[in-house]
């Protein structure tokens, strides 16, 4: 009996030593991860260095003649995406010349502003698909709290965070995220708790020819009931499997199905080895 106790004490001390070594190694990796992310975040895209005056000129010179409207893609998107529109002082000098021709067409017509649109007649709404055009209309109020199925098409990170924070009953969610920089900076401490979500599919769409891809999106979610996850490998950059493992551990979920799309950096075997109890598939 005493011999067994002595062996257990020795084993306990050995385990403590191993745990300390692993914790030290993990701490070093976390520090390196932080430095890498800081370097990635410090990069400034050239378009963000344009002065507001130049952005204003782009806006003015590419507006088509009334009644035509600008296309969904093209140079006008530059000021819409990256300009300082909260305080457009540089536009005050230019906008009157642009608008005066269009405003005179209205003569003495009164200005009409739509009221906020609500949907009280849809209390049983459970499934919903929203495109970027609907998401960016602040006057539309939807009964999001009752949704169990939601698809958001071409949304930015700040947009889907604001919506999903109101959808605690979701069972299935598909996010098609716009590639590029957000209109507003991404939330640094976004928290989306979806206790009933079992299926989450993430993908991207590139309408601006941007080379960047969203990272850190999984950090927004706490999904303890998640069973099925689809995610592009680029979302997991720069530490891929560790990012995915951290997401699963934080949520406390038990993944049954994992689909990695656009795999390019990590081998299929590495994913399967990291998640032995999960069915892992790939889509190139």
What are the structure tokens assigned to 184, written together?
Answer: 């507003």
Per-residue pLDDT of 86-122, as tens digits, reads 444 555 555 555 555 555 555 556 655 555 555 656 6
Say whether pLDDT at 225 is over 90: yes
pLDDT at position 117, please? 56
* pTM flag (> 0.75): no
- Higher-scoring residue by pLDDT: 38, 251: 251
For the chain, where do the domains classified as CATH 3.80.10 start and end? Answer: 117-283
Report the range of poorest mean pLDDT among 2-6, 53-57, 88-92, 177-181. Answer: 88-92
For position 154, what pLDDT does the model report? Answer: 86
Q: Are 115 and 137 in contact (CB under 8 A)?
A: no
| Integer Cα distance of 240 and 246 in angstroms | 10
Contact 266, 237 (CB under 8 A): no
Q: Which two structure tokens, joined as six digits, stand for 16?
A: 């403590």
224 has a pLDDT exceeding 60? yes
CA distance 230 to 248: 13
Q: Using one digit for the tens of pLDDT, what is the confidence trace for 26-85?
A: 888 888 888 888 888 787 767 667 777 777 777 777 777 767 777 766 665 655 554 444
State the pLDDT confidence band at 4, using cuts at 50, 70 and 90: confident
3-state secondary structure of 81: helix
CATH topology of domain 117-283: 3.80.10
- Asked which of 155-164, 183-192, 235-244 is least confident by mean pLDDT, the reply is 183-192
């Amino acid at each position: 009996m005493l011999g067994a106790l002595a062996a257990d004490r020795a084993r306990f001390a050995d385990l403590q030593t191993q745990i300390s070594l692993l914790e030290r190694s993990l701490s070093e990796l976390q520090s390196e991860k932080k430095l890498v992310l800081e370097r990635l975040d410090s990069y400034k895209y050239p378009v963000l260095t344009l002065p507001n005056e130049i952005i204003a000129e782009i806006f003015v010179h590419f507006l088509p003649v009334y009644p035509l409207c600008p296309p969904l893609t093209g140079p006008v998107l530059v000021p819409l995406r990256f300009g300082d529109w909260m305080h457009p002082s540089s536009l005050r000098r230019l906008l009157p010349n642009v608008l005066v021709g269009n405003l005179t067409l209205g003569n003495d017509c009164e200005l009409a502003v739509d009221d906020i649109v609500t949907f009280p007649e849809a209390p049983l709404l459970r499934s919903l698909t929203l495109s970027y055009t609907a998401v960016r209309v602040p006057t539309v109020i939807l009964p999001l709290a009752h949704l169990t199925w939601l698809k958001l098409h071409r949304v930015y990170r700040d947009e889907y965070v604001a919506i999903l924070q109101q959808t605690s009953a979701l069972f299935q969610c598909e996010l098609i995220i716009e590639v590029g920089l957000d209109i507003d900076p991404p939330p640094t401490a976004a928290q989306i708790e979806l206790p009933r979500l079992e299926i989450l599919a993430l993908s991207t769409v590139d309408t601006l020819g941007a080379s960047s891809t969203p990272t850190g999106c999984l950090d927004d979610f706490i999904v303890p009931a998640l069973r099925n996850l689809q995610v592009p490998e680029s979302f997991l950059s720069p530490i891929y499997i560790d990012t995915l493992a951290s997401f699963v551990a934080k949520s406390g979920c038990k993944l049954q199905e994992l689909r990695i799309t656009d795999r390019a950096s990590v081998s299929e075997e590495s994913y399967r080895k990291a998640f032995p109890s999960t069915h892992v598939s790939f889509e190139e």
